[in-house]
Structure 1
């Protein structure tokens, strides 16, 4: 059976670090995750998902992230229940984080606020080569090639593409 969750979203409030009676760090937090569609009024909606981090991840989250910080996490869904103050059974569903990634750099502002980048890469490019020299004395040069993955790489070819035995990563005669 599989119970895996991957989320990317923003913290709805500052994470609050607590310690269990046995001294283990625990942090409960909520992640706001945008839905992929808009409602009838054209507004984007979000889901607010309760999460739990334990031990060093909990401490790191509380020390380095705050309300509005963009994080990614991988974990599992855990359900539970308890008896409320009114005597009724209360059911809970949380995501227990196995791995948390901080998806924004720490801000250098003195007020400690995160600066959020609104950069969105252009979808009009086909290929771009970027070269950067770093330094006056023996600078390093690197190149990065970007290609859109949603375009057909064979669109410019004329006719069928021939595949030879040398192109195959295995001996096709043994596969039969």
Structure 2
């Protein structure tokens, strides 16, 4: 079984391109926090390369940006290529589904009428401390 579920933030705007056959391909890097802190008490993150295709790719590129939080369901795929005579190995998440969880702007921006959800692109973020179970 090869299934991966991740929640993280986009490290930069998604990069949308099209194959010669017209298939949309969106590449992005997802920063996923680790569950623990290092020796200095700082939380570290893993930076995971992801690829989405077709309508999922277009939606991601059109509606998400750097700092947006997303949930990703997909599978791991490894590969390799030659660069300057050296073999470079890659590991990517091939995305099957993306859930838009919110953007960084939701945390600090409010609409002109005081509505905290006025500028939201999706569900609000809730910390684990606020969940009653």
TM over 0.5: yes
TM-score relative to the length of structure 2: 0.80
Seen in structure 2, the aligned counterparts of structure 1 residues 18 and 118 have a Cα distance that, compared at 3 Å, is: closer
Q: Alpha-carbon deviation of 1:119?
A: 4.7
Which has the larger Rg?
1
Q: Alpha-carbon deviation of 1:82?
A: 0.9
In structure 2, stretches of 5+ residues that fail to align are 112-118
Computed over aligned residues only, the root mean square deviation of the Cα atoms, in angstroms, reads 2.7
Deviation readout 1:17-42 (Å, 9 max, x if unpaired): 00011110001100000000000000
Where do 4+ consecutive residues of structure 1 move more than 4 Å?
105-109
Residue 43 of structure 2: aligned partner:
44
TM-score relative to the length of structure 1: 0.62
Mapped partners of 2:42, 2:89: distance in 1: 30
Q: Please give the residue correspondences for 1:75-94 in structure 2 after superposition, counting only pairs within 5 Å.
A: 75-84=74-83, 86-94=84-92
Q: Alpha-carbon deviation of 1:16?
A: 1.1
Residue 161 of structure 1: aligned partner:
none
RCO higher in structure (CA 8 A, sep ≥6): 2
**Count of aligned pairs:** 121
In structure 1, stretches of 5+ residues that fail to align are 126-147, 149-176
Residue 74 of structure 1: aligned partner:
73
Q: Please give the residue correspondences for 1:8-47 in structure 2 after superposition, counting only pairs within 5 Å.
A: 8-47=7-46
Mapped partners of 2:126, 2:60: distance in 1: 25
